[in-house]
Each structure stands twice: as C-alpha cells, then as structure tokens.
Chains A and B, each alone.
Chain A
C-alpha cells in the first residue's frame, strides 16, 4: 500500500526550532508515522523537505515565516491523525503554566518580562536572526545586559548594538554567542564546571602546524590505515565553529581536506543548532563514508547544558552507516573525535565516550590532538 504524505501550513506562526524538533520527535513516535517534520519554511528547510518528499500541498508555497507540519504515514488515517496530534502538541506548548487565581498569561515581550521581574539584569535572546537586533536593542534600552545567542545578524547591527551597550555601560555578548559562564551560571551551551578563581580567561591560538611532540600523540596509538589510491582527504564535520577552525589549523593548510562547521549561519537559518539537531551533520557523515576520497573522518561531540541529551548516541547510527558504506567499497576509514565535556555534564562524559568507542571511533584527548592525529594518520599511511 502506498504511503500517505500530508502537510499543513500555519502562516506567520512561530515556535523556536528546538521546540519544533521536540514536537517532530513526539509525532514520529505515533503509530503509523514513518517520517515527520515541523520546520519554518526557510529555503534550506524547504530543500530538506523536498529531499524527503515531504514538500507537498500548501507547503510548496510556504515562506520563511510559515510553519510547515509535514508527515508521511502508512495510510491517510494515520497521517491525518498525526497532523491533528501535532496541532494539539503545538497548542500544549503555547499553554501557560498551571493557572492559579487570577489567571495570567506569559509576557509577550522582553520589556513586559522585565516588568514582571524588575530585578532581572540579563536578557537571553535566541530568536531568529532577522529579529534579533531589535530584541537586543529593546533589552539594552531597558538597562539589561544581553547574551545574544542568535546568529544571522548583520555587521552593521552588531556594531550598533556594541556601541549602544558601551554607551550604557552594559555587556553585549554576541551576536552568535554560543556559550558563556557568568557568576558560575552557564548560558547557552555550557559545560558544567567546578567554580574557582579565574584571573584571566582567553582563548589562545595554538600553533598552526602538526606537532606530535607537543601533543604527545604517537602514531603507534593510532589505527593503521591501508589507503586506496585517491583516498587522502580528511573530512572534518563539526558542531562548534571554533573547534572546526582549531582542527583545520592543526592539520595545516591544505586544499585537499574539507572542514564544515554545521553551526554556521547558513546551516542554522530556520532550524536548530547541530548540537541539538544532528540531522544535517549525520547526513554528511553518511555521505563521507560513501566518498572514495575520504580517509579520515574528524568529528566533535559536545556535551553540556543545552546540548542534545545523547549526542554520541545520536551520531552513532550515522557513523556505523558511514563505516559500512566504506567497507562495502573495500575502503578503510578512520573516525577520530574529541568529546568536549566534563564529568559534571548531564550527558555523562564517560558514558558518551564509551558509546563512541563501541562504534569504532578513536577518541583523542583534545580537539587539537584530534587534528594532529588526523594529520599523522595520513602521513603514516603514506609512509
């Protein structure tokens, strides 16, 4: 029997991409549902819907401000039921908390939220980029420090916000500020750390060449690869932008290799960050396994507050698939990764590392180590 594909569109609706992801997951758990997607109809998301054959009906004419609910189910009844359930789930998310007397509704603007808590001193802004500067400016005007998580903010707006904040003596973190720890509180994506005294914290630029002595990475610790002809590329697929740059720097400059930061603006328009939504990177991991040029797959796995509840577990199926595809083509493929996290993080560092090791992933002590190791691996194979 043919599957039934249906899509509903809510014009000018907004729900943050993380909440949409959660509703998608709840839909997927419904009986008879084969695939489901709740996304804002940005160009990227429309392409993804189209790739999954979910861009049907009204969804074809939906724009970036429209919410598309698309479902593929075993039959029409199941598809209709799933769409109805999605509406209910969405309505549930809009509902205010347990109502006492008198009834109240949640604040509809940062200004109003600040009025509800006049002692508030910081605004956390993670709305879509096109609206982010306005929200940040409103918060600054109201005397709030700003942590601006949103990306896709123009340079002109960024400069303007920084100047405004400076004039008012306020902190303006971001745009595209993924993480911060303020007074021991982690904002955005933050690893849980023990409190202590920090006199100066600064991201240091590491030497931009592979340095086995410095890192202590020994070729003997690494898998021995027998590479086929033309198989000499390192494919770095990252959630963290800084991690991506660091690994690329550790590899040294070479046009052969390919590094992609899935947290970059172009991948997050209208969808959640890859640390929360692994879909796009997982797809790229599988593709890398089928690519005859790729010798080493380099990954970051990021734990902490705000991150996926099980990032290792979420990427393992894709890693296994990539390895299986390479093996099917009689190629050897090394998967190297570093887990960014602490033993205090909710995902559990040891558990996450064990999950990755069980899938055949080689873990390195730091992201930089991983970059160096990838480089040594290729040299070792060539030697």
Chain B
C-alpha cells in the first residue's frame, strides 16, 4: 500500500485550510475539499470520544447491519387482531409511539388518543374513567417499538385493533402496524369523539377482516419492496406523500376485495371507497415494511447505525444497532410547515409518531428528491428537495439497492444513519411529518419538516464509547 502511493497519481481529499488545497490545485491536482466544521458542536469531550470511534471494527459491523437493511424482502401477508399476532400484547395494554414515557409527561394530544384507545377497547365507558385508569396505571403503556410494532402519530395500538402483518423474507422477522384511519379528525392525531370511535369500530369489524381475507387469498402476499420502489419512481417518499403507493396497494387489493363472499356489496364498496379516499392508506404498510427491515439490522455488536427514530409528542428517541435496548432521547421539536386554514405554528404539538421509521430505513425526508411536489409544505423549491436528500448521504453508511432517485441519476436513497457521522458533521436527519394540534381532540392541522434533537446522537456516541 505504501508503495502504491509512489506509483499511482496523487488524489487528495482535504479538510482544513483552503489555502493548502488551493496550492495542490495550482499544481494541477484533483482535490476534493471538505466543507469542514468542528465536530460535536464544539464539545471537546464529545469530539475526543468521537475520535476514538473511527475503528475498522465498527465499520465492519455497520456493513453487516446495512447489508441486512438492504437485503430486506418485505411482504404484506395478512391483517389480524393485534392480540393474535403482536408478541407480548395484552388486553389491558396500550402501545404508543416513540420512546417510553410516564403518563404524567404525556402531552394533552397523546393523552386524548390514549383515552380514545382505552374506550375503543371497552376498558372504560367514558373519557373521565379512561383517564383515571391510565393515570392509576391500570392500563399498561408500552412503546410499539418494544413489540415489533410501529404506529403513526400517537400510535395507539390496542388488543382488538386489526394490524398489518409484514414479514421480512430475508431475515424471517415480522413487523406490525395498525391500519390508517384517513385524514381529518382521527385518533392518531388525538382526535376524539363519536365519529372517531365509530370509524375505529368499523375498521375492527369490517375493514380489518376484509383486508385479512383478501391478503390470505394471495399466497405470495404483496411484495412491498417492489411496491415502494415503484412508488418512489412515481413521486412518493412514502412518509408525507403516499398517493402512488396507496394507489398501487389498492390496485392489488381491489379485485380480491370485490370478490369477497363474506361481505355484502355495500360493505365491499365502503371498504374500497375508504381505501381510495385516503391518500395515506399505504403509510402504515410502508412503516411496517421499514420496521421489518430495521429490526433485522438491530443488535449487531459494535454497529453504530440507528435502527429506530421515534417520537411520543414529548421526547424524541433513537436506538442504535450495537447499543441494545437503550433509548437515547431529547426533547421533541415542533415541526416547521404548512398549516391548514385556521391553524398556525402556535397550535402545533411537538413532533410525534413512529413514522420516522421511514427515514430510518432511507425513505421519507431521505428520499425527498423523489418527491419534489411536497417541498411546498415548507415553501421550498424542487432544488431544496434534492439538497435534502443529498445532505442525508453525509450521515448515512450506504445507499438503498431497491429505492432509487431518478433525478440523482438513479442513486440509491441514503440509508443507515451512522451516529458518528451525525456528531461529526452536525447534520441531523431530515424528517417529513404531519403536524398535530397541541390541544386534545382537534387532530391534524398541517404537515411539514422536523429534525431530531442533536443530543440523541451525542448521547449515543458517549454511550458507544463505554460500550466498546
């Protein structure tokens, strides 16, 4: 190797004084110059810790974890009641989005959703009693992520709710997610009222069983890896934009739904209308697919790749492949975005939901270059969409082999956030998100962009040092 540098032409990468790079350029040399800034946001202790983590063993571990993400073959197999399929699910248990949290620290929006979930499950007859049960701890609250599950926004998942069953054929693991309720006043945004509970009841009685039966009639299930790849080429990033993916999913399901003998014609039509009327019908399916890929990558010793990014409306939390079950948290931020008529940033709840699993797996904000249509959420230009994706390559270990960005010459989407690169560059993941009202019972008031707090990654790097 030492000989090779004397035998092959010099090609240089440079970090630091621009002048030194210029003198090489003067000599006709190709120089790739780094736009360098001090790492660790000026914390010397953290910078020193980071400096010890440029270790080939960590890179090798990340290769293993990344390979598992890239190799994931996710298939939508079934829809079943949560209690039948989710490991550890119990009747008096409510799963929520984000890292673990005490009832006392829950935001009003998420509490409203929890109350709705408890009532939906028939554990309490009214909202007051539901709230008392929750406050007393008569209902167990646990993160979806502790049960191979993901839930959008508040993420409330209860025993009898129908959940999507996604299998990762490469690693053999499964992941679960509830069905998407549609837009407007819905439980996941803390919307509460008879209309919300009626819809949830219909989803449990009719929609879930119908989808389950339709899917069981497809022995190979639905290839989600292929479906997402196609949707990304149709302008979706599969987090804030799911129009194409939803249409593709409905295209596969519709003939099966139409042929169901177990439903009368009115209900069959209602199922199809419900699916067709919800441009985020696919969101939860995509989230389960991403969860199935990321769970396969979790638990690789020494890997510094992020396998979970999730928010509960109070905290933002991440998990790291080589750091076991620990969460690293910081305060959830308020998204920047576009608000529906009559709402403003003052009404916004801090960031919530497990849907950042899409970014964790290389979609959502990371695939923004595929979805220039949605940068209008933040008043951005199509160029901004491209720059968003490009910036994410700075902090990721690799590129998707399935999801590609046509405008970047079909480069794979940036995949596998490395906590070291976040602390090195100060670039935090870009997350696309819906915005919930901070007041209970209102629902969605907009959509936009948000970032995780930097301290999640700083905390993980400090812990990583001790873990080696």
* Residues of chain A within 8 A of B31, CB atoms compared: 124
Instruction: Report if B266 contacts A (CB, 8 A).
Output: no
Shortest distance from the beta carbon of B417 to any chain A beta carbon, whole Å: 14
In the complex, how many angstroms separate the beta carbon of B74 from the nearest chain A beta carbon? 27
Evaluate contact between B32 and A109: CB separation under 8 angstroms: no
Q: How many residues of B contact A (CB 8 A)?
A: 60
Q: B residues within 8 A CB of A139?
A: 13
Q: Is B341 in the interface zone, CB < 8 Å from A?
A: no
Number of interface residues of A (CB under 8 A): 69
Residue of B nearest to A143 (CB): B1
Q: Choose one: B56, B386, B407; the contact of A141 (CB below 8 Å).
A: B56
Q: Which of A122-158 contact B (CB under 8 A)?
A: 122-128, 130-131, 133-135, 137-141, 143-145, 149-150, 157
**Residue B33 lies at the interface, judged by CB distance under 8 Å to chain A:** yes
Chain B contacts for A106, CB-based, 8 A: 33-35
Cβ-based interface call for A108 (8 A): yes
Contact check, A124 vs B8: say whether CB atoms are below 8 A apart.
Answer: no
Rounded to whole Å, the gap between the CB of B42 and the closest CB of chain A is 4
Task: Give me 23 A-to-B residue pairs in the complex whose CB atoms sit less than 8 angstroms apart, sorted by A's number.
Answer: A12-B38, A13-B37, A16-B18, A18-B17, A19-B18, A65-B42, A102-B386, A102-B408, A105-B391, A107-B32, A108-B34, A109-B424, A117-B11, A123-B15, A133-B51, A134-B51, A137-B51, A141-B55, A144-B13, A149-B17, A170-B2, A171-B5, A183-B10
Q: Which of B5, B18, B20 contacts A145 (CB 8 A)?
A: B5
| A19-B18, A306-B20 known; A121 vs B34 contact (CB < 8 Å) | no
Give residues of chain B (97-122) contacting chain A, Cβ–Cβ below 8 Å.
Answer: none
A32 at interface, CB cutoff 8 A: no
Q: When chains A and B are docked, how far (Å) is the Cα of A89 from the Cα of B48?
A: 31
When the two chains form the complex, which single residue of B30, B38, B394, B427 contacts A117, counting CB atoms closer than 8 Å?
B30
Instruction: Say yes or no: B10 contacts A121, CB within 8 Å.
Output: yes
Q: Which residues of chain A are near B10, meaning CB under 8 Å? A: 121-122, 182-183, 185
CB nearest to A148 among chain B residues: B16
Question: Within B397-439, which residues are at the interface with A (CB < 8 Å)?
Answer: 407-408, 421, 424-425, 427
Query: Which of A186-194, A207-215, A227-235, A282-290 touches B?
Result: A186-194
A358 at the interface (CB under 8 A from B): no
Residues 9-37 of chain A, each 1 if its beta carbon lies under 8 Å from chain B, else 0: 00111101111000000000000000000
Asked whether A103 is an interface residue with its Cβ less than 8 Å from the other chain, the reply is: yes
The reply to whether the CB of B468 lies closer than 8 angstroms to some CB of chain A is: no
A254 an interface residue at 8 Å Cβ cutoff?
no
Given contacts A102-B408, A107-B34, A141-B59, 16 further A-B contacts (CB under 8 A): A16-B19, A19-B17, A107-B33, A108-B425, A110-B15, A112-B394, A113-B15, A113-B34, A123-B15, A126-B17, A127-B38, A135-B36, A137-B51, A141-B54, A170-B2, A183-B5
- Using CB atoms, name the residue of chain A closest to B19: A18
Q: Which residues of A contact B391 (CB under 8 A)?
A: 105
Contacts A106-B34, A186-B27 given; indicate if A169 touches B12 (C-beta within 8 A): no
Which listed residue, A14, A120, A346, touches B12 by the CB 8 Å rule?
Answer: A120
Check if B47 sits within 8 Å of A131, measured CB to CB.
yes
* B24 on interface, CB distance cutoff 8 Å: yes
* B183: interface (CB < 8 Å): no
Q: Does B39 contact A (CB under 8 A)?
A: yes
A143 to B37 alpha-carbon distance, docked (Å): 22
Q: Write the A157-186 contact mask toward B (1 if CB under 8 angstroms, else 0).
A: 100000000001111000000000011011
Instruction: Decide yes or no: A134 and B15 within 8 Å by CB, A12-B38, A112-B393 being known contacts.
Output: no
